[in-house]
Structure 1
Amino acid sequence: MYGLVVMLTMLVLCSIVLAGELRGPAKVISTDTLEIQGTRVRLWGIDAPDETQMCRDIKGDLYLCGLRTASELEGFIEDREVSCLSILEDECGRTMATCSADGSDLGEWLVRKGLVLDWTRYSSGRYQAAQSEADRAGLGLWAGSFAVPRLYRACIRLGGGPAGCSDDANAHP
């Protein structure tokens, strides 16, 4: 009986968090995940390179594109209040949200800088125009070559290593 009470309490608390808004200083956990008030929130609608993923720059030199993305995001939100709305859970149970800092949608900001991709399957193309602009301007990932992040993760799941799964000079979509 005690377990049932605890579980129902947890469900009620989770429902409150999922229905509300998270606001406050944010810590960058990974390329697409923030922590606000102890809650980890994944940015909705984007496909971000993992921290171990490597890309090629305009000269063909390898760099850790996931780490660069996390660092750029950290610099952008530093000392700003972050607000996350439209909080929901994805099919894996992760908390997802559209988050902003000073009125700038963080997903759109990352896509516009060419640091992540619009994941149309989830975003319904919300960031597609920003991605096209970044591609035309040769910004971030679009300056060189890269493996699409979700394909990189699939390769890793199949037993590939970061170098082999990342380094595809023909992977630029």
Structure 2
Amino acid sequence: MVNIASAALLASLLCVPGYGAADVAGRMDIVDGDTAHVAGQTIRFFGIDAPEAGQTCQNADGGIWACGKWVTERTRARFQGKQARCVEVDRDRYGRIVARCTADGTDVGRWLVQEGLAFAYRKYAMDYDLDEKRAAITDKGLHGSLVQDPAAFRAARVNGQSTGRVAPDASCAIKGNISSKGVRIYHVRGQEHYERTSINTAKGERWFCSDAEARAAGWRKAKR
């Protein structure tokens, strides 16, 4: 028979929020904009999504830049080596701990979204929705550039496909588009329709590194 003291202890444990979840504390080593190693565990920051380390973005004048690398560097500058405490919220499909982390009294995920280094991952949580909107209003960080959704970027990479307006490789940013009539036309930076043209490799469209490469593949240059 369970005595009164044991029953009370069991009830108190069941009422503790997060009971049974991992509580990881230790030195934080940044992997990229939304992932870190803490005390030997791989932690995915809860409620946010950041560009992949190899992802590129496009700025207002059409220039391509390594935004994923920049986000990683900014995150490291702020949190690398800090003592962190991460409370598990979930586990992702890779078995990583998805957690809310604090370092120096700062909510790491919230700081990243407020600085425009990551986006609110609304598919899973709305915790940082307003933080992202405030950052977007002032074009802070990534909001001043054209950025492919990180989840879409990952999916395209897994499938060996690329869909979007921003070149995955900044040195190969010529857009090989196929019109609705099947005409193969390529666009270079500065041309009228370059910015609005999106490339879908699943349809046979592609990126080129030079005019010569595009012409050799059977594409013609856009007239304007």
Q: In 1, Cα distance between the equivalents of 2:154 and 2:110?
A: 22
Name the counterpart of 1:102: 104
RMSD (Å), alpha carbons: 2.4
Q: Which runs of 5+ in 2 are unaligned?
A: 1-19, 174-193, 199-224
Q: Secondary structure at the match of 2:110?
A: helix
The structure with the larger Rg is 2
Name the counterpart of 2:78: 76
Name the counterpart of 2:152: 151
CA displacement at 1:92 relative to structure 2: 3.6
Q: Secondary structure at the match of 1:40?
A: strand
Q: In 2, Cα distance between the equivalents of 1:108 and 1:154?
A: 25
Q: What TM-score, normalized by structure 2, do the two folds share?
A: 0.62
- The answer on whether the counterparts of 1:114 and 1:140 sit within 8 Å (CA) in structure 2 is yes
Q: Percent identity?
A: 27
Q: In 2, Cα distance between the equivalents of 1:52 and 1:45?
A: 21
The structure 1 segments of at least 4 consecutive aligned residues displaced by more than 6 Å after TM superposition are none
Q: In 1, Cα distance between the equivalents of 2:148 and 2:167?
A: 10
Structure whose residues are more often helix by fraction: 1
CA displacement at 1:93 relative to structure 2: 2.1
Q: What is the letter of the counterpart of residue 161 of structure 2?
A: G
Q: What is the letter of the counterpart of residue 112 of structure 2?
A: L
- The answer on whether the counterparts of 2:153 and 2:162 sit within 8 Å (CA) in structure 1 is no
* 28 and 169 in structure 1: CA distance in 2 versus 1, 3 angstrom threshold: farther
Superimposed CA distance per residue, residues 12-67 of structure 1 (whole angstroms, 9 cap, x where no aligned partner) = xxxxxx72321121111122111111111111111111111100223332111111
Give 2:118's match in structure 1, choosing from 116, 131, 137: 116
- The answer on whether the counterparts of 1:57 and 1:141 sit within 8 Å (CA) in structure 2 is no
Alignment map for 1:38-57 (pairs within 5 Å): 38-57=40-59
Q: In 2, Cα distance between the equivalents of 1:82 and 1:53?
A: 27
Structure 1 stretch displaced more, 86-95 or 145-154: 86-95
Alignment map for 1:10-25 (pairs within 5 Å): 19-25=21-27
CA displacement at 1:121 relative to structure 2: 1.5
Q: In 1, Cα distance between the equivalents of 2:109 and 2:60?
A: 24
CA displacement at 1:95 relative to structure 2: 1.3
Alignment map for 1:56-71 (pairs within 5 Å): 56-71=58-73
Structure 1 stretch displaced more, 129-138 or 99-108: 99-108
Count residues with an aligned counterpart.
153
Q: In 2, Cα distance between the equivalents of 1:59 and 1:161?
A: 22
* 39 and 79 in structure 1: CA distance in 2 versus 1, 3 angstrom threshold: closer
